[in-house]
Amino acid sequence: MTWADLARILVEHGVAASVARAGAAAAPEAITGVVYDSRVVTPGQVFVALKGQHVDGSAFTQQAIERGAAAVVSEQPAPSGVTIPWVVVADARLALARLAAAFYGEPSRELRVIGITGTNGKTTTAYLVASIFEAAGVRCGLLGTVAYRTGPGKHAVRDASRTTPEAPDLQALLREMVDRGCGACAMEVSSHALTLHRVSGMAFAAGVFTNLTRDHLDFHTNMDEYFRAKRRLFESLPPHAPSLLNVDDPRGASLADAGGRAITYAIARPADITPGPLSFSLDGLTFDVRTPRGTLHVRSTLVGRPNVYNILAAVSAAVALDVPFDAVERGIRALEGVPGRFEMVSGAKDEVTVVVDYAHTDDALRNLLETARPLARGRLITVFGCGGDRDRTKRPLMGAVAGRLSDIIVITSDNPRSEDPARIIEEIQRGITPDTRRPPASPPRSESGEPPSLLTIADRGRAITTAVELARPGDLVLIAGKGHEKYQVVGDRVLPFDDVAVAREALARRRTNSGVV
């Protein structure tokens, strides 16, 4: 692909004013890539200067040129002396998305891409959708918070750097999926990605809305703006593409006119797709799903009511895209679990149950604790913290949720980043007051009926170990906030840390001390 080809695309999409202004005639050579980081530019690539929250990429255009950039796309005019093509655009992020999609040959148009957005449930829903397509004989890629999977085998799986990659990285992954024989892709679409145009110009075969609860208010100024970002996914759908909406969430119904062909799912409200009687246990879920095409039967090792919604979302997408019922049932049954999502760490020889989960908002923590409460034979012990340099308003809210639903709380560090962990812990504690106690009409949280015991241990490893040590036989220990993550961000350092590994070590010591091998 030449610079003239890419420049013409910018013009056709209204991103650049004209081909002449894009300097098409000055760069006839084939373009070798589209990049946004001046430090990795190689000869023949187009450098797109993005304006970030703290740094404007236009300040690094000289570095990109010195490294061999064939052209520059920027929101700023070219400085004097520049001899390579320089395109001035109104929105460099939109230009980046359009250029990346074109450079990689519009791979989303060769796949059935199911875009999944919402606050909670995106990851599990994406894993379910991918498992269903695989059961139907359609190789399915996966993009999301935990991993990027572009085909079969371990060599095609890499850890995710962010929920939705930047446009060139995203388009490269989609092209890799096509080259590896994928026919579909289950993709988490974050509100950041929608706001920052990472998915602009993509062809989605379906869009899924899981729910909307408080999160990312350090980036979005309020909940309405956060929701408007989510809405963009559905506004991008073609008229025939199904729009799968959770109408138990108050925001779900308002997406029916956003775009696509609305299909609703719910547990508590009338909807196109609903479940039959639900059976919950630590062994998983069993229920029927009523759909416009008939009833299918679900058996899953996933646990809890939130996973009923995730299964309904995946079933809705599969049914709307005409996946056979037997494949839907087999795909759900085949998914044994999702890393860091109600992940059972303890085993049959352990006298306590230990679960690791990614819950890092007050609503997600509430769902997690409400799922665990009826499954616990003894006390419920909750270990959690809150991330630094992120929405501070959710900290006391998470404390209040833990106070209502836990017997023992261990507040610790999450990813403190540049903040003082002690200050984060203190802000969480503000939510744990007498007002957060469970109402008298509800089942008591412990035999004594006392409010939960509270420990504050900033060292996350020691907090997890302490929780496992103080647990009594039959207790359930929940370790929330980091889930699948294998690191902890402290200051400007990224340190190795794995909740699952730390919990397993603590359980092993407990077994040794009790004489259980």
Kindly state the DSSP code that residue 30 receives in the 8-state scheme. B
Tally Cβ neighbours within 10 Å of residue 487.
Answer: 14
State the architecture of 3-103 in CATH terms. 3-Layer(aba) Sandwich (3.40)
pLDDT at residue 240 in the model: 93
Give me the CATH topology for the region 107-334.
UDP-N-acetylmuramoyl-L-alanine:D-glutamate ligase (3.40.1190)
pLDDT at residue 435 in the model: 63
Burial code (b: 16+ CB inside 10 Å, e: under 16) for 337-347 equals bbbbbbbebbe
CA 206 → CA 77, 269, 461, 508, distances in Å?
39, 22, 41, 45
pLDDT at residue 166 in the model: 97
pLDDT at residue 105 in the model: 97
Please give the chain's pLDDT, 517 residues, in tens.
898 899 889 998 888 865 555 554 455 578 999 999 999 999 999 999 998 767 788 899 999 999 999 999 999 999 888 989 999 999 999 999 999 999 999 999 999 999 999 999 999 999 999 999 999 999 999 999 999 999 999 899 999 999 999 999 999 999 999 999 999 999 999 999 999 999 999 999 999 999 998 665 666 678 899 999 999 999 999 999 999 999 999 999 999 999 999 999 999 999 999 999 998 888 899 999 999 999 999 999 999 999 999 999 999 999 999 999 999 999 999 999 999 999 999 999 999 999 999 999 999 999 999 999 988 999 999 999 999 999 899 999 999 999 999 999 999 999 999 999 999 999 999 999 876 644 433 344 444 455 569 999 999 999 999 999 999 999 999 999 999 999 999 999 999 999 999 999 999 999 998 877 6
- Residue at token pair 């059976």: 279
pLDDT at residue 22 in the model: 57
CA 82 – CA 160 distance, rounded (Å) = 37
pTM: 0.92
Tally Cβ neighbours within 10 Å of residue 449.
Answer: 10
CA 489 – CA 497 distance, rounded (Å) = 9
Domain ranges of the chain: 3-103, 107-334, 343-512
State the architecture of 343-512 in CATH terms. Alpha-Beta Complex (3.90)
Residue 400, C-beta contacts closer than 8 angstroms, at least 6 positions apart? 362, 431, 432, 433, 435, 436
Q: Tokens representing 501?
A: 């590994």
Tally Cβ neighbours within 10 Å of residue 391.
Answer: 17
